[in-house]
Amino acid sequence: MASTMSKTAGESPTAPFGIRALLIALLPILGVLLYLDGQDYDADLVELERRGSAAGLGADAFPDSIAGLERFGQIRRFDTDNLYEYINGHAEFFLGAGFQGLTVVEYGVPGGEQPVLVVNLYHMGEPLNAFGVLVDEAGGSEPVDLGSMGFRSGNGVTLIHGPYYVQISSYEDAVSAPEAGAEMVAALEGVISNPGLAFRFPDLGTVTSTRFVKEDYRGLGFLNGVLERRFERNGEEIEAFLVSGTADSVQHLVRAFETFFREDELPYRKIEKEGLTFYSVNDPYEGDWFFLPLGERLIGVYAPLDEGLAAAIKAFAKGSSG
């Protein structure tokens, strides 16, 4: 009985001896083929996913030399899975701000043994995200005219250009971080176009202030990465905000607003003006205000929708698409 059970449970078809011998004979050949293939190792094939998230994120922008220095050592790349290896303890901050990839390149004097300049190039997904990180990390330092916006602190510079947040640190007084920053911006020009577009606002009046709000704009948990601008218009101050992302994410945001309005019973309606669809909100806490999705942007204005504002936004929409 025991023998029968054992045979039933463990029994498997047995191949004829000839086939088994052939398979065994093929093993060394397979081994040789695998070895030869290994000699043609292509990191791109093996690390396709990781490189996929970092490649195309500015890694190709690095010049071979910068500020009279030569590239030193290997280019290091980090993505969302391993950023903490480079900035353990601070990775969450970048991840929460839209981080896509980081490329680290060091430069040194020709023939030198140590690098004297380090460039950290963060791709933050969206120019607005890069702006937010810059304001949080370096805002308040000495402004420098680099890229879309830049700051100098000690012997380093921090700047943004397009979706890139760039940190350049010099460890030699003779090596100018701003000079390296200017060269890096020039190099980035080759991989991005129209880097300042995301910061454009409709012309709603005289700008009085601009700030970035990383999350929970006006207490709304779904409204993050917001650029807010205050304008003086007809003697009154109004606030407007702008969020940029993909067209899908903007539509998602519109749905989040609609859900919120329903839950809080805030009356709103869609108004067609100037060929655009505005969401006009009658809000007892914010006052009357409106917003509208414009492709990859969502713009909100804390003021009642009037002809002048609609026309200004129409002009902006036309300029953005043109």
**Site for other proteins, rule CB under 8 A:** 87-90, 93, 136-139, 153-156, 158, 167, 169, 213, 215-221, 260, 262-266, 283-287
Q: How far is the CB of 93 from other proteins (least distance, A)?
A: 5
User: What tokens were used for 1?
Assistant: 């009985």
Q: Tell me if 282 sits within 8 A of 275, measured CB to CB.
A: no
189 vs 237, beta carbon nearer other proteins:
237
Nearest residue to 198 (alpha-carbon basis) of 114, 142, 128, 253: 128
Distance CA 184, CA 104 (A): 13
Burial of 272 (0-12, 13-18, 19+ CB in 10 A): exposed
218 vs 314, beta carbon nearer other proteins:
218
Query: To the nearest 10°, the Cα dihedral for 265, 267, 272, 276?
Result: -50
163 vs 294, beta carbon nearer other proteins:
163
Distance CA 279, CA 290 (A): 5
87 vs 276, beta carbon nearer other proteins:
87
196 vs 221, beta carbon nearer other proteins:
221
137 vs 183, beta carbon nearer other proteins:
137
Q: How far is the CB of 50 from other proteins (least distance, A)?
A: 23
Residue with tokens 């899975």: 81
Q: How far is the CB of 80 from other proteins (least distance, A)?
A: 18
Q: How far is the CB of 158 from other proteins (least distance, A)?
A: 5
Q: How far is the CB of 28 from other proteins (least distance, A)?
A: 51
* For the chain, the helix, strand and coil percentages under 3-state DSSP, each to the nearest 5: 35, 30, 30
Enumerate the H helices of 175-226 as residue ranges: 177-189
Q: How far is the CB of 218 from other proteins (least distance, A)?
A: 4
Distance CA 187, CA 319 (A): 27
Q: Tell me if 119 sits within 8 A of 184, measured CB to CB.
A: yes
151 vs 316, beta carbon nearer other proteins:
151
Q: Tell me if 204 sits within 8 A of 182, measured CB to CB.
A: no
Q: How far is the CB of 156 from other proteins (least distance, A)?
A: 4
